[in-house]
Amino acid sequence: MFTTDDDYSKCFLISGDLVVVADAYIKGPMLGQGGFGSVFAGTRSSDGLPVAIKYVTKDEGHEDMEEGQGLLPLEVALMTRVSSAPVCPSVLKLLEWFDHPGRYVLILERPDPCQDLHRIMSHLSAGKRWQTCSCSPSEITAGASRS
């Protein structure tokens, strides 16, 4: 879902770099941080659904991708694509996103328990990695090449 800056001010209270999602989402502790932003645990206020709130910084190098509704930030376009049918239950779904000056805010589903791929792979030996995976390499390739 695309939300304009006018709508954004109705959904967020902004205090410096800290963005607290008021009314719609309650922001919890940080789950992780990378080169492009941070991910926090969150809860959707309306029904208690656990979500991940991802803040992605905008910079001069961010890429846009042509989708049906015009240019979208690359990460939003890719998440929209993998969240559409046919859906893979192993891929997190993008629930909605917001465009704010300086950053994008993505709201993703957050299943429990959930770990990032790097953490899972670092705890498994090479031989156990494919045994643990619930899909085959060819399924991964097919999913990645899906248009």
In the annotated binding site for ATP, the residues are: 54
Contact 45, 23 (CB under 8 A): yes
Please enumerate, by residue number, every residue annotated as part of a binding site: 54
Give the C-alpha distances (Å, rounded to integers) separating 43 from 47, 78, 109, 139: 8, 23, 10, 32
Tokens representing residue 121 in the block? 């792979």
H or E element, residue 126: helix 126-132
From 96, 108, 137, 132, select the one nearest 4 (Cα to Cα). Answer: 96
The span from the CA of 6 to the CA of 102, in Å, is 15
Tokens representing residue 135 in the block? 């899909």
